[in-house]
């Protein structure tokens, strides 16, 4: 929802990545930002309206991003998508960092505008696997954002290093970076960034896709 600069870029990037995209905006003129090559669906309407969402194909959607220029509209649309239609991968753009933290605790991933990039949004909409963020000149070592099985939440961060060959660099929690120590416990919504050898990434990803009991 939202075909401004962020929304249009996100829609085009998702389509290039092979996803089927539908985009909603109240202003038909906004769809011009998508360009002539965009093959997704465009729906003119209110993004939190049930009929508009149904027209966009919300019942078959795997993910929903609310990235209009209004906090209230984004939160309302995100909650409708999550609570009424059961969409698991939902993210809302929030301008007010204080409100963003509140909704994050309610289970709706949010990022304040200052921290917002289309890349971050895509990571939340398509969370499977690892996302490379840096690699050394030889390509041997990478810094990657990893996807965790829900069974890791509530466990100590150190358990990742105990069960895998990864080294935890930092955690992004509620939009802010956190350097973990031996007492840090993983919470739902945490984004975990680790250093790892490229040749071991597949094994690390496999271990983290299971609950800790089955990670070894």
pTM of the model: 0.62
- Model confidence at 110: pLDDT above 80: no
Q: Which alpha helices (DSSP H) does the chain contain, by range?
A: 5-16, 50-56, 71-79, 97-105, 118-125, 158-163, 201-208
pLDDT higher than threshold 90 for residue 20: yes
Q: Between 56 and 127, whose confidence is greater?
A: 56
Q: Within 13 A of 181's CA, how many CA atoms are on the CB side?
A: 1
pLDDT at position 127 is 62
Query: What's the confidence (pLDDT) of residue 115?
Result: 47
Give me the CATH code for the 131-214 domain, please: 3.30.70.1450
CATH topology of domain 5-125: Rossmann fold (3.40.50)
Confidence of residue 55 (pLDDT cuts 50, 70, 90): very high
Task: Kindly report, residue by residue over 145-165, the tens digit of the pLDDT.
Answer: 888 898 999 999 999 999 999
Evaluate whether 194 touches 166 at the Cβ level (below 8 Å): yes
Portion of the chain with pLDDT greater than 90, in percent: 57
Concatenating the DSSP letter of every residue in 48-100 gives T-HHHHHHHTGGG-SEEEE-SS-HHHHHHHHHIIIIIT--SEEEEEES-HHHH
- Residue with token string 């209110």: 46
Indicate if the alpha-carbon torsion angle 14, 19, 20, 24 is positive or negative: negative
Q: Is the pLDDT of residue 7 over 80?
A: yes
Task: Give pLDDT, residue 194.
Answer: 95
Going by DSSP bridges, is the β-strand pair 191-197/167-173 parallel, antiparallel, or unpaired?
A: antiparallel
SS3 content of the chain, % helix, strand, coil (to 5): 40, 25, 35
pLDDT per residue as tens digits for the range 167-211: 999 998 877 889 999 899 999 888 899 999 989 988 999 999 899
d(CA 25, CA 139) in angstroms, rounded, equals: 42
Which of the two residues, 19 and 114, has the higher pLDDT score?
19
Residue-range domain boundaries for the chain: 5-125, 131-214
CA 91 to CA 68: how far, in whole Å? 12
pLDDT of 129:
63
User: In terms of Cα–Cα distance, which of 27, 65, 32 is closest to 46?
Assistant: 27
């Amino acid at each position: 929802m939202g075909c401004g600069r962020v929304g249009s870029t996100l829609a085009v990037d998702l389509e290039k990545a092979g996803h089927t995209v539908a985009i909603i905006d109240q202003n038909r003129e906004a769809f011009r930002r998508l360009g002539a090559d965009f093959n997704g669906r465009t729906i003119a309407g209110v993004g939190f309206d049930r009929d508009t969402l149904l027209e966009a194909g919300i019942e078959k959607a795997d993910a929903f991003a609310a990235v209009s220029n209004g906090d209230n509209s984004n939160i309302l649309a995100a909650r409708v998508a999550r609570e009424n239609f059961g969409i698991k991968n939902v993210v809302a753009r929030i301008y007010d960092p204080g409100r963003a933290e509140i909704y994050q605790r309610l289970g709706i991933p949010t990022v304040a505008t200052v921290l917002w990039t289309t890349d971050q949004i895509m990571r939340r909409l398509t969370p499977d696997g690892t996302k490379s963020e840096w690699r050394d000149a030889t390509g041997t070592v990478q810094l990657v954002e990893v996807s965790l099985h829900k069974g890791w939440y509530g466990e100590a961060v150190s358990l990742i290093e105990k069960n895998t060959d990864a080294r935890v660099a930092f955690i992004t929690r509620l939009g802010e970076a956190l350097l973990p120590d031996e007492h840090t416990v993983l919470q739902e919504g945490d984004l975990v960034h680790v250093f790892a050898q490229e040749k071991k990434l597949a094994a690390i990803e496999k271990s983290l896709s299971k609950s800790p009991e089955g990670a070894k």
